[in-house]
Amino acid sequence: MLDEIKEIKLKKLENLRSSGIDPYPEKTERSMTNREALEKFESLQGKEIFVVGRVRSLRLMGGSAFLHLEDVSGKIQAFFNKINVGDEKYKLFTDSVEIGDFVEVKGTLFKTQTGESTVQASDWKMLAKSLSPVPTEYFGLKNVEELLRRRYLDLMVNPETRQIFEKKSLFWQTARKYLTKRGFLEVETPVFENIPGGAEAEPFVTHHQALGRDYYMRISLELGLKRLLVGGYEKVFEIGRVFRNEGIDREHLQEYDMIETYEAYEDLQGGMKFVEKFFKTLIESVAGNLETEYDGQKISWGAKWPKNDYFELFKSEIGIDLDREATFENLRKKADELQVKYDPSFGTGKMIDTLFKKVIRPKMIQPCFLVGHPVEVSPLAKSNPKDPKKVLRVQVVAGGTELGNGFSELNDPIEQRQRFEEQMKLRAAGDKEAQMLDEDFVKALEYGLPPAFGFGFSERLFAFVMNKSVRETVIFPPMREK
């Protein structure tokens, strides 16, 4: 059936070419968007205009025809007849134009008997002849996997999908405006790294042909940005793509955009005030208010966010006192008891983190700050001087998921090296996500990193606010082969 349709379309294409018409011209005389034509109807009376768009509907009625053109601003109706267009042009129109084609219409505005503002065509031009049938909104593609695989069709037939990405653009624009207004400098750091750092994740490896060596693709933006604080900048941020060789689920993809901000001379308490205001600004920009929904749960962002202590939650929900009982054996037994899956290569920190994520975090629905993390799960955060078993770290949690992560940055080069060395032992034991020792970063710290607060979040936050999976809010997500 599709082959037959395509054959018909190819004949129409050939008909245009044999008539001396270029079905894919470079230029159009478009003078305004469809919305502008409709909004300025009164002032445009009697004036010649040019509108363009994809043909979304077409009604042929012998010597006349109606069609709707759709551009990014909306739809407008056009009316054709032999008298105004001419017999030859009208016949070429009826023989060649179909739903899905891009067309330019020249004419003047009038209102039909039903009161619809319409362009009365005096001429037309093919802008791009479609060779495959366009799915309709009601009878086209319904399979979600296929819509994601061929996103251009999803965008073509589902206005709500286009709205998602318009809001996503607003999300990042709002973030940039918020930070630059507060004196942050936007920078770009390399995607290829000698040593991947700043997160616990398995990296991708790529080969640099000209240099004859392998590089890691970055898993975070952190270590490059902190080097800039060493160099003398005080407020920096980056919005960039990161790559993590991990699984796909509602919250995770292998490549995605994230933002990280670093501010010298700021502490954890001041950082949390900054983050709460930042999040509320972003959420209100895309949702229109501070009430959203996620996975069937109402999320209220407006009130002041409470602080929840990691150690206290762990003790009350899991029954292990991390101050005294955080041995690998105790954690393993508890994981077995609660039927929490874990990898045999996990160290103590990874076991703590896994239990927290699987048992406690799903119960944390309303927005809050999670603070007081154990040092074992935070190799880049500054230790709490009042309790060396904890670090000065904060996560934003809502809807049972982590939406942002920040630290008072560890700036002691000796302690940082020790933390990296502990991570390297975990890698040697088989943990592919443990961090590597970055000698250059430690060397940078030896020149002095001022006290600083760093915070980052990914486009997961946008997906969360839109109540979608992450891949639904990525224009072209990676997909399995058919």
> pLDDT band at 345, cuts 50/70/90?
confident
- Reply yes or no on whether the pLDDT at 304 is more than 80: yes
Residue 176: its H or E element: helix 159-181
Q: What pLDDT shows up at residue 139?
A: 42
SS in 3 state form for 182-208?
A: CCCEECCCCCEECCCCCCCCCCCEEEE
Helices (H), 321-385: 328-337, 348-355
Task: Please state the pTM of the whole predicted model.
Answer: 0.91
SS in 3 state form for 269-333?
A: HHHHHHHHHHHHHHHHHHHCCCEEEECCEEEECCCCCCEEEHHHHHHHHHCCCCCCCCCHHHHHH
pLDDT in tens, 226-243: 999 999 999 999 999 999
pLDDT in tens, 403-425: 999 999 999 999 999 999 999 99
- Reply yes or no on whether the pLDDT at 1 is more than 70: no
For residues 203 and 223, give the distance between their C-alpha atoms in angstroms, rounded to a whole number.
Answer: 15
Average pLDDT of the chain to the nearest whole number:
94
| Angle formed by the axes of helices 348-355 and 328-337, nearest 10° | 30
Domains of the chain: 2-134 (2.40.50.140), 154-473 (3.30.930.10)
For residues 103 and 37, give the distance between their C-alpha atoms in angstroms, rounded to a whole number.
Answer: 16
Three-class SS state of 356: helix
Q: What pLDDT shows up at residue 247?
A: 80
- Reply yes or no on whether the pLDDT at 456 is more than 50: yes
Residue with tokens 């991390």: 322
Contact yes or no for 451/412 (Cβ under 8 A): no
Angle at 186 between CA 185 and CA 187, to 5 degrees: 110
Please count the CA atoms within 13 angstroms of the CA of 179 that sit on its side-chain side.
Answer: 25
Q: What pLDDT shows up at residue 420?
A: 93
Handedness of CA 318, 368, 383, 188 (dihedral sign): positive
For residues 279 and 284, give the distance between their C-alpha atoms in angstroms, rounded to a whole number.
Answer: 8
Please count the CA atoms within 13 angstroms of the CA of 94 that sit on its side-chain side.
Answer: 18
